[in-house]
Amino acid sequence: MLVDNGVHGDSRVQKVARSAAEAGWDVTLLGRAPVGAPQTWKLGRAEVRLVPMPDPLARRRHEFRRAWLRWPLAYPPSGIAANRAAWVKAWQTDIRVREAALAVAARSGRPDPRQARRLRTERMAAQWLRRWVSFRYWQLTRARKGRKLDGPWDRLYTWFWQTVQGGRAWRRLEPGLWDYELAFGSVVDELRPDLIHAHDFRMIGVGARAKTRAAAAGRTVKLVWDAHEFLPGVQPWQDNARWLPAHRAHEREYVPYADAAITVSTSLAELLRAEHGLDRLPAVVLNAPDVEPPSAADGPAPDLRALCGVAPDTPLLVYSGAAAPRRGLQIMVEALRQLPGAHAALVVNKPDGPYVRELVSRASALGVADRLHVLPYVPHWQVVRFLSAADVGVIPIHHWPNHEIALITKFFEYSHARLPLVVSDVKTMAETVRSTGQGEVFRAEDLTDFLRAVRAVLADTGRYRAAYDRPGLLAEWTWSAQAEVLDEVYRRLLPDRERKPEPVPGPPEQLAERAVSAPSAGTVR
């Protein structure tokens, strides 16, 4: 199993790996180590291995060159700027210590005027040098910021390589995609898998190339492509003209190697079939939550209200998920000023990230900082119980192509927590909430309408919670039901492979420092 992140925080990937292992498949999940050293641990019976991935190809050639014409005094982009800045700081630190020692000697009746004059001269020289180094460092920073890949030249560059190389143009436009191959390719080959499950659009290439090499060696490997998003509808992760066309070309090149595709919603499955001309509609594996802890070793979930310091009768709104401007979290902060007594909890992936800091700063400016609580993620098997202490689950995402076509993970988590919902009017989610009666829909980015929806829900939470009593509603939105779909895909591709007996569940997550054993039949990598 291949994923382009560090596994932690990616609940879908964790659930897929764990449930496949519990179904008897021998699973190794390969992810990207956030630091240089490899890491290994157990996720149920699945083995997680994080692989170090240097990314020299992700740097563009202009990042190695000096901008002589625009910023002639800038340091070269070689790392010397940081070296010089640190050297000056060290010199100034040394001067301060020597001055302190001289002051001590003077109080003891041993003044040294000559040394004092020398230190004053050094201090002035160091101050001048620090200003000079700071100026050149600033020029380097400006040169880096000023060279973005979104100008006319870069659009021409993108058009040229698309015209010359067609679908192969991603090799020029986004060479950093090769960094994944160079890090993961040999590891996959050593594992000799029967099936490769490639998550999302970056790892499909790694899986397809490994499948091709295996075929050349006389082995048959099946490839499953797990499309988390519709790539044409993704906001580019980098601010340049090359990112999206390069990744789309990369995806188009390697999707035909997939023996099966799965995705997160029926709408997205239809889009993928049309985009890639798939012979078969991708199987749908919803991002539904685990409603039961994976083992008896899992302790109680943290108390959300205790962490926020609020009483049981205090209105508490919660958002759980990634923090980014298009997730619309600012509307929750703005609303607190007009919702006296209500509190908001943001359970986010990067509690100290720049966007979250902006929200906290805005809450302070509005005088509501004491009613905004920022909390980190909990393990995915604890999310439902953790969130259930809130009064309202909020999904204020903005209109964006990928937001319109699926029920996202937090929707199912809120539902199993039996929370009344307040959601923006993105298509699929709004239609579902209106049909089930489990919450209120507001116009995205409209503060007045958001306040209306929140007040309506808080006025009668019992009415909205009652929607979850409808027979079969929540049963359809469980991970156990989705795991059956996943297992059917694997069994269709590997019908003759024997699987291990169902294991006795172990601790949810156990660090393991050991060598990886040779894979048995029916392995998923």
Q: What's the pLDDT at 64?
A: 56
In tens, the pLDDT along 189-236 reads 999 999 999 999 999 999 999 999 999 999 999 999 999 999 998 887
Q: What's the pLDDT at 502?
A: 54
Give the CA count within 13 Å in the CB-facing half-sphere of 348: 25
Q: What's the token pair of residue 271?
A: 């889009």
Q: What's the token pair of residue 279?
A: 């012979």
Give the CA count within 13 Å in the CB-facing half-sphere of 508: 19
Rounded CA separation 384/358 (Å): 28
DSSP string covering 461-484: HHHHHGGGGSTTTTGGG-HHHHHH
Same domain, 251 and 314: no
Give residue 107's domain range.
61-146
The domain tally of the chain equals 3
Q: What's the pLDDT at 509?
A: 46
Q: What's the pLDDT at 476?
A: 83
Rounded CA separation 166/20 (Å): 38
In tens, the pLDDT along 156-190 reads 888 898 999 999 999 988 999 999 999 999 999 99
DSSP string covering 24-42: T-EEEEEEE-SSSS-EEEE
User: CA-CA-CA-CA torsion for 197, 202, 206, 211, nearest 10 degrees?
Assistant: 50
Closest CA to 253 of 171, 155, 182: 171
Same domain, 253 and 272: yes
Rounded CA separation 146/507 (Å): 50
Question: Tokens 């958001």 correspond to what residue?
Answer: 450
Rounded CA separation 287/264 (Å): 6
Closest CA to 200 of 116, 262, 284: 262
Rounded CA separation 167/162 (Å): 7
Predicted TM-score (pTM) of the model is 0.76
Rounded CA separation 158/163 (Å): 9
DSSP string covering 351-415: TTSHHHHHHHHHHHHHT-GGGEEEEE---GGGHHHHHTTSSEEEE-PPP-HHHHS---HHHHHHH
Same domain, 135 and 236: no
Residue 19 near residue 486 (C-beta atoms within 8 A): yes
Q: How far apart are the first and last CA of the chain?
A: 4
Range 72-81 contact pairs with CB under 8 angstroms and sequence separation of 24 or more: 73/135, 73/136, 73/139, 74/136, 74/139, 74/140, 74/142, 74/143, 75/136, 75/137, 75/139, 75/140, 77/140, 77/143, 77/144, 81/133, 81/136, 81/137, 81/140
7, containing H or E segment: none
Q: What's the pLDDT at 380?
A: 80
| Phi, psi of 107, rounded to the nearest 5 degrees | -65, -25
Q: What's the pLDDT at 144?
A: 67
In tens, the pLDDT along 449-485 reads 999 999 999 999 999 999 999 998 898 898 989 999 9
Q: Are strands 343-348 and 316-321 parallel, antiparallel or unpaired?
A: parallel
Please check whether residue 499 lies inside any domain of the structure: no
Please check whether residue 434 lies inside any domain of the structure: yes
Same domain, 93 and 176: no
Same domain, 53 and 66: no
Same domain, 109 and 156: no
Q: What's the pLDDT at 212?
A: 96
Same domain, 356 and 436: yes
Please check whether residue 184 lies inside any domain of the structure: yes
Give the CA count within 13 Å in the CB-facing half-sphere of 255: 24
Residue 26 near residue 519 (C-beta atoms within 8 A): yes
Same domain, 257 and 317: no
Same domain, 418 and 343: yes
Please check whether residue 490 lies inside any domain of the structure: no
Same domain, 55 and 67: no
Please check whether residue 261 lies inside any domain of the structure: yes
Same domain, 332 and 457: yes
Same domain, 354 and 398: yes
Please check whether residue 501 lies inside any domain of the structure: no
Final residue in a domain of this structure, among 476, 503, 518: 476
CATH number, domain containing residue 218: 3.40.50.2000
Which CA distances in Å does 390 have to 222, 316, 356, 461, 466? 44, 5, 20, 11, 16
Final residue in a domain of this structure, among 146, 172, 188: 146
Tens-of-pLDDT digits for all 525 residues of the chain? Answer: 999 999 988 889 999 999 999 999 999 999 999 877 899 999 989 999 999 998 777 666 555 566 666 778 888 877 788 888 899 999 899 998 988 999 998 888 888 888 889 999 999 999 999 999 999 888 888 776 655 556 677 788 888 989 999 999 999 889 999 999 999 999 999 999 999 999 999 999 999 999 999 999 999 999 999 999 999 988 877 767 888 999 999 999 999 999 999 999 999 999 999 999 999 999 999 989 887 655 544 678 899 999 999 999 999 999 999 999 999 999 999 999 999 999 999 999 889 999 999 999 999 999 999 999 999 999 888 899 999 999 999 999 999 888 888 888 899 999 999 999 999 999 999 999 999 999 999 999 999 999 999 999 999 999 999 999 999 889 889 898 999 999 999 999 999 876 665 544 444 444 333 223 233 335 565
